[in-house]
Amino acid sequence: MDTFKRLKDFYWPYKKYFYWSILTLILVSGITVVYPMVLQFTIDEIIIKGEYSTVPYVAIGFILLMVIKGAATYTHQFYGDLFGIRSVYELRESLYEKLQFLPFDYYDNAKTGDLMSRLTADVEGFRFFLSFGFSQLINFVLIIGFSLSVMFFYSVPLALITLCMMPFLAIVVYKFDKEVHPAFRGIRKSMANLNTKVQENISGINTVKSLSREDFEINKFDTSNEDYKSQYLTTSHIWAKYFPVMELIGNLSVVLLLAYGGYLVIQGNLTAGELVAFFSLVWYIMGPIMNLGFIMNTFSQSKASGERLLEVLDEPLEMEGKDRELETVRFQGEVKFENVTHRYKNEKKESLKDISFKAKPGQTIGLIGATGSGKTSITQLLSRFYNPESGKIRIDGKPLEDYSLRTIRKNIGTVLQESFLFSSTIKDNISYGNPYAEMDDIIDAAKRAQAHDFIMELPDGYDTILGERGLGLSGGQKQRISIARAILIDPTILILDDATSAVDMETEFRIQKALKEVMSDRTTFIIAHRISSLKHADEILVLSNGKVIERGTHEELIHQESGAYRKIYDIQYQDKDKVFQMNGQGV
C-alpha cells in the first residue's frame, strides 16, 4: 500500500465523501445479509408452520428494506464517484503543473506519448480504484464479516468448515497478485510506447508521406501493437490460470457444506430454512472471494498506474533563484561567461569547454560555427534552461543562479530556429508572453517583425485561428510571428537562434533592418549560419567543438586569411560571385 500512502495528499482531503460512501456501504451490506434471514423465516415459520397471516407484513417489510437499500446504494455510488473524481482532479492538476516546471534535461529523454499516457490512462486507472475498487475491497470484508456472524448464529460447525476453506483461497489470491502486478506494469509501459508511436507518426506525417515510408511506419506500429497484445495475453494467461483454482475451492466448500448440512437437518440439529439461509450466506462469501481476483486485478492496475504517476511527481524541479530581492528586477543587460563548461545529461562529450566572454549592455554578440559546435548551448545556459557543469555566468555582475527563473525568462526574449505556434489566433500567439498587451502594441510588434502585411491578407487578420503547430503558414511566416512575440515582451536581452533561416533574402534584409531598431538598446545574441546576419555584430564568436576558436568584429575576422570565419565567408560570397558572373554570361 506504499503507493497509495504516498499519494494520500491527493485523495485524503476528500475523506468526507469516502466516509459517506463507506457508511452507506455498511448499510447496504447489512441489508443484503438480512435477505437470507427473511428467507429462513419464510420457510420455517410461514411455509412449514402454515402462519400465512404474516405474509403481508413480511412482504411490506421486505419492500421497505429494498427501498432503503436502493437509496443507500445510490448514495454509496454517488459519493464513491465524487471521491474518486475530486481526488484525480487534484492529481491531474499537480501532474500537469509539475510538467510545466520540470527542467529541460527531463524532456531531453521523455517521450510525449508516454507523458500523455500518464496524464490520461494512468490517472484514470487510479481513479477507477478510488471510486470502485477500494469500496469493493471494503465490501468484501463487510459482507464476509456480516455473513460469518449470521452463519455462526445458525451453525458453528458449518461456519468453521467455511472458515477452513478461506486460507486456501487467500493463498491463491496472494500468488495471483504477485504475478499479475508486474504484468499490468508491463501493459502500462507498452500502452505508453504505443501512444508515443502514434504521436510521432501524426506529428511527422509530412515527412512520412514525402519519403513514401507509410509501410515502414505501419510495420513499426505493428511491432508496438504486437508487444501490447503480448503483454495483455500474459495477463490473461495469469487470470486463466488462477481463476479456475479459486472456483474449484469455492465449489468444494459448497459440496462439503451440502453434505454436512444435510446430515445436520436429518439429525434435527438444523432446520430446513436455516440450511437454505446458510447456503445463501455461503454464496455471499464465495461470490466475493471468487470475485477477489477481479478486485486484486483492479488494485494491481491502480498500483501500477500510481507508481508511474509518482515517477513524474518525484522528479526534481528546476532550481530557483537564491536572492529573493532579485525576483522582480529588470536587467541592465551585461552578460559575462567565466570559464563555463557544460555537458548534457547522459552525454560523454562536453558541449562547451572553458567559454569566457563579456557582453556590455546594448551590445550584439554573433555566434557562428558548424552544427554541434555549441552555439545554442551558450544561449540555453544564459536562459538557464540548463545549469553549467563548471564556471560562472553573470548578469549585471550577479551570478545567474541568484535570479528567479521567472525574472530571467521575463528579461530574455528568445526566437528559436524551429518556431512553435499554438492552435489559437495569431493575436494570442503574438501576445503569449504578454497576455495583457494592447492591440496597438501587438500590431507594432508584428510590423517590426515584417509580419503585419501577410497577417492582414489572412481571412480574419489577427483573429485568424491557426492549425496545430501553425499549420497553414509557411516557415518564414511562423518565424516572423515568433519574432513579434519576442519583441512584445520588451526583453533586455534578445536571443535570435537562426531566426531568419526560413525566410528569403529580401525578407531577411527587411527583418534585419527592423530588428536593428529593436536591438539598439538591448543586449542581443544572434546565432546564424549566414554571415549577412552577423556583419553588424559588435563581436563575433566562432565556435568549434564547444570552444571559441576565433573572436572579433566582422572586419577583423575576414582579414584573418586562414581563419575559420574567413573560410565561411569565402564559401558564402565567392559562390555568389560565380553565380553573378554566370548570369552575366547568359547562363
- Of all residues in the chain, what percent carry a pLDDT higher than 70? 91
Residue of 493, 549, 555 whose CA lies nearest to 519: 493
Interatomic CA distance for residues 334 and 483, integer angstroms: 22
More confident residue, 484 or 519: 484
Give Cα 552 distance to the centre of its chain.
46
Task: Please tell me which of 24-28, 58-62, 257-261 the model is most confident about, judged by mean pLDDT.
Answer: 24-28
Are residues 30 and 149 in contact, defined by beta-carbon separation less than 8 angstroms?
Answer: no
Interatomic CA distance for residues 125 and 140, integer angstroms: 20
pTM: 0.73
| Confidence label for 572 from pLDDT (cuts 50, 70 and 90) | confident
Least confident range of 125-129, 173-177, 367-371, 564-568: 173-177
Tens of pLDDT, residue by residue over 441-485, are 999 989 888 889 889 988 889 998 887 655 678 777 888 888 888
pLDDT of residue 25: 92
pLDDT at 516 over 60: yes
Quick one: average pLDDT of 99-112? 82
Least confident range of 8-12, 199-203, 477-481: 199-203
pLDDT of residue 76: 92
Quick one: average pLDDT of 568-581? 64
pLDDT of residue 513: 67
Tens of pLDDT, residue by residue over 526-550, are 998 888 788 889 999 999 999 999 9
Quick one: average pLDDT of 288-316? 81
Burial class (CB in 10 A: 0-12, 13-18, 19+), 359: buried
pLDDT at 582 over 80: no
pLDDT of residue 469: 58
pLDDT at 290 over 60: yes
| Confidence label for 258 from pLDDT (cuts 50, 70 and 90) | confident
Neighbours of 489 (CB within 10 A): 19
Residue of 564, 563, 533 whose CA lies nearest to 373: 564
Question: What is the number of alpha carbons within 13 Å of residue 463 lying toward its C-beta?
Answer: 2
pLDDT at 583 over 80: no
pLDDT at 249 over 70: yes
Quick one: average pLDDT of 399-409? 87
Phi-psi bin for 500: left (phi > 0), alpha (psi -120 to 50), beta? alpha
- Of all residues in the chain, what percent carry a pLDDT higher than 90? 19
pLDDT at 69 over 50: yes
Residue of 270, 252, 281, 263 whose CA lies nearest to 29: 281
Interatomic CA distance for residues 396 and 400, integer angstroms: 9
| Confidence label for 27 from pLDDT (cuts 50, 70 and 90) | very high
Cβ neighbors of 217 (< 8 A, separation 6 or more) are: 201, 208
Interatomic CA distance for residues 34 and 406, integer angstroms: 64
Task: Please tell me which of 134-143, 180-189, 190-199, 311-320 the model is most confident about, judged by mean pLDDT.
Answer: 134-143
pLDDT of residue 295: 78
Quick one: average pLDDT of 281-285? 80
pLDDT of residue 322: 63
Least confident range of 104-108, 338-342, 469-473, 520-524: 469-473
Least confident range of 61-75, 289-303, 405-419: 289-303
pLDDT of residue 210: 63
Residue of 32, 253, 278 whose CA lies nearest to 142: 32
Give Cα 200 distance to the centre of its chain.
16
More confident residue, 586 or 344: 344
Mean pLDDT of the chain: 83
pLDDT of residue 108: 79
Least confident range of 14-18, 154-158, 489-493: 154-158
- In angstroms, the Cα distances linking 190 to 118, 193, 364 are 12, 5, 49
| Confidence label for 502 from pLDDT (cuts 50, 70 and 90) | low
| Confidence label for 222 from pLDDT (cuts 50, 70 and 90) | confident
User: Each residue of 272-285: b (16+ CB within 10 Å) or e?
Assistant: ebbbbbbbbbbebb
Write down all domains in the chain, each with its CATH number in brackets.
2-313 (1.20.1560.10), 333-584 (3.40.50.300)
Cβ neighbors of 329 (< 8 A, separation 6 or more) are: 403, 407
| Confidence label for 206 from pLDDT (cuts 50, 70 and 90) | low
pLDDT of residue 514: 64
Give the N- to C-terminal CA distance of the chain in Å, as an integer: 79
pLDDT of residue 586: 41
